[in-house]
């Protein structure tokens, strides 16, 4: 089968046996996550009745807070040690935590266990994301797209399946099945041969390594633009997740069934968008795809207050496409623009910053839903559009670094030395750090002109 044709097959990456087992572990743990959150919702209702939504809102806040605080450290650990035991241990700890949930007797105990569970999640997810490019080589765009589409699909189908299981075996018993899913996922990872270790690199104090990941995240122009576009996606996405229920049941005077239709349309749009990425990646640049996704998402949101249930379903289907086209290409941009030995730290920093956007967006969506319920989507879409335009005018790289002609013959760029970028430096310079220097391009050639006293970016 021709190589070009193979890249268009969404499941082509599963021919890699190591990624296939990682993917099975992820799918199993995602089913476990669905069981966890459905079980928590039902458990909260047992304690506080209709106040369960407030309990879940606090639980989601604790989730995001854990991600923001602990993910950068997780990235440092992922670059420092073999990732296989990190993934196994994180699954086993989650198994033990959810195994305690059937025995809780108060809402406070729920909060404590949710916080502990998501601290562990903060270590698992960046490590897993950084491992995909490590084990798949040049096929990582298809692997990332498949992983994301599975996550989106289970986000749609998982809660319904979990609800049916809970109705059959009971609310508290669902957590025992949840714990078994994490044990199975750990077994899949334990079956992998050898180590999952990034290329060797000298490590300093954890705080300096956290700074290194964040510095790369914001210094690399393509990643910086993608991250700002994720702020657009978070503001719009929070409006959808927080305020759709009030709009459907309050403004449209419809029921839970119609609300389920609308949210399913969102999930289906996201899933189909992820499955198309394997075909789109060879033909459209990552940044342009991210930009198109942001435009689709904001346009869908701005128009959502103007029609009934069927228009809303169509718009939320488009919003799902837009959100996926922002988030999945961002992961591939990080893999494209970051040497493998630094990807754990950069993915960890990205996971923290992207969830910080949601920590900002959720309260904003709640405020708009409470005071402007009849036009909350229009206001949220307008806010997203303003950020999108500002980012496009001020943050978007006009030309890809080292991929096209530069607008200036002599310029600076940040880089780290890897197998693709080597040249000599003064012995006083640590080339494992991010640094910059003058870079000169001739029409048919280029060479590096050094001035490290003035252009070295220090991380001391």
Are 184 and 252 part of one and the same domain? no
Are 165 and 272 part of one and the same domain? no
CA distances from 29 to 37, 131, 324 (A): 12, 16, 21
> In this predicted model, what pLDDT tens digit does every residue of 199-236 receive, in sequence order?
655 556 667 777 777 888 888 889 999 999 999 999 99
Last-in-domain residue among 163, 196, 229: 196
SS (H, E, C) 215-262: HHHHHCHHHHHHHHHHHHHHHHHHHHHHHHHHHHHHHCCCCHHHHHHH
Are 136 and 217 part of one and the same domain? no
Q: What pLDDT, on the 0 to 100 scale, is given for residue 52?
A: 66
Domain assignment present for residue 431? The answer is: no
The reply to whether the predicted model has a pTM over 0.85 is no
Q: What pLDDT, on the 0 to 100 scale, is given for residue 203?
A: 57
Describe the strand order of the beta sheet including 445-449 as a list of residue ranges: 410-415, 435-442, 445-449
Tokens of 303: 């128009």
Domain assignment present for residue 404? The answer is: no
Q: How far apart are CA 219 and CA 168, in angstroms?
A: 52
Are 333 and 289 part of one and the same domain? yes
Are 251 and 102 part of one and the same domain? no
Q: What pLDDT, on the 0 to 100 scale, is given for residue 314?
A: 94
Which domain, by its residues, includes 164? 7-196
Strands (DSSP E) along 305-451, which ranges?
A: 410-415, 435-442, 445-449
Domain assignment present for residue 434? The answer is: no
> In this predicted model, what pLDDT tens digit does every residue of 101-154 receive, in sequence order?
999 988 889 899 999 999 999 888 888 888 888 888 777 878 887 887 788 777
Last-in-domain residue among 397, 423, 447: 397
> In this predicted model, what pLDDT tens digit does every residue of 320-359 receive, in sequence order?
999 999 988 888 888 888 877 777 788 888 888 988 998 8
Last-in-domain residue among 161, 196, 231: 196
Per-residue pLDDT at 238 exceeds 80 = yes
- What is the CATH number for 80? 1.20.1250.20
Are 15 and 141 part of one and the same domain? yes
Are 93 and 157 part of one and the same domain? yes
Q: How far apart are CA 72 and CA 414, in angstroms?
A: 21
Are 147 and 222 part of one and the same domain? no
Are 117 and 43 part of one and the same domain? yes
Of 401 and 307, more confident: 307
Domain assignment present for residue 272? The answer is: yes
Are 220 and 115 part of one and the same domain? no
| Mean pLDDT for all residues in the chain | 78
Are 63 and 116 part of one and the same domain? yes
Per the structure, how many domains does the chain have? 2
Tokens of 381: 């879409």
Q: What pLDDT, on the 0 to 100 scale, is given for residue 2?
A: 43
Per-residue pLDDT at 388 exceeds 90 = yes
Are 296 and 386 part of one and the same domain? yes
Q: What pLDDT, on the 0 to 100 scale, is given for residue 405?
A: 34
Domain assignment present for residue 436? The answer is: no
Q: How far apart are CA 388 and CA 406, in angstroms?
A: 24
């Amino acid at each position: 089968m021709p190589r070009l044709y193979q890249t268009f097959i969404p499941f082509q990456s599963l021919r890699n046996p190591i990624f296939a087992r990682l993917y099975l572990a992820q799918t199993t743990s995602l089913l476990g996550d669905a069981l966890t959150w459905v079980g928590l919702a039902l458990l909260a209702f047992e304690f506080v009745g209709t106040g369960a939504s407030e309990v879940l809102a606090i639980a989601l806040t604790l989730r995001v807070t854990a991600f923001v605080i602990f993910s950068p450290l997780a990235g440092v650990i992922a670059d420092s040690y073999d990732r296989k035991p990190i993934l196994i241990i994180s699954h086993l700890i989650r198994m033990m935590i959810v195994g305690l949930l059937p025995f809780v007797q108060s809402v406070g105990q729920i909060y404590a266990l949710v916080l502990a569970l998501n601290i562990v999640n903060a270590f698992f997810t960046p490590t897993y994301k950084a491992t995909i490019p490590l084990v798949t080589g040049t096929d990582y765009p298809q692997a990332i797209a498949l992983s994301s589409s599975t996550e989106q699909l289970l986000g749609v189908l998982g809660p319904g399946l979990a609800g049916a299981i809970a109705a059959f075996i009971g609310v508290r018993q669902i957590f025992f099945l949840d714990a078994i899913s994490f044990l199975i996922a750990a077994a899949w990872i334990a079956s992998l041969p050898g180590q999952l270790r990034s290329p060797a690199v000298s490590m300093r104090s954890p705080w300096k390594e956290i700074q290194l990941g964040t510095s790369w995240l914001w210094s690399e122009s393509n990643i910086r633009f993608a991250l700002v576009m994720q702020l657009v996606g978070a503001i719009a996405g929070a409006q959808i997740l927080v305020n759709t229920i009030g709009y459907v049941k309050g403004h449209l005077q419809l029921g839970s069934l119609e609300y389920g239709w609308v949210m399913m349309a969102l999930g289906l749009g996201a899933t189909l968008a992820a499955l198309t990425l394997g075909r789109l990646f060879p033909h459209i640049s990552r940044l342009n795809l991210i930009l198109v996704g942001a435009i689709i998402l904001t346009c869908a949101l701005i128009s959502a207050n103007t029609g009934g249930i069927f228009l809303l379903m169509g718009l939320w289907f488009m919003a799902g496409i837009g959100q996926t086209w922002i988030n999945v290409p961002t992961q591939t941009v990080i893999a494209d623009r970051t040497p493998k030995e630094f990807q754990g730290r950069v993915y960890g920093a990205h996971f923290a910053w992207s969830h910080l956007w949601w920590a900002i967006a959720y309260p904003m969506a709640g405020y708009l839903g409470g005071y402007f319920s009849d036009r909350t989507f229009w206001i949220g879409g307008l806010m997203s559009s303003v950020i999108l335009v500002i980012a496009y005018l001020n943050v978007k790289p006009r030309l890809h670094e080292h991929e096209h002609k530069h607008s200036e013959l002599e310029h600076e760029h940040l880089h780290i030395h890897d197998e693709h970028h080597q040249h000599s430096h003064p012995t006083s310079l640590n080339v494992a750090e991010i640094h910059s220097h003058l870079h000169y391009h001739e029409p048919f050639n280029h060479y590096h002109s050094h001035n490290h006293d003035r252009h070295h970016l220090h991380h001391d």
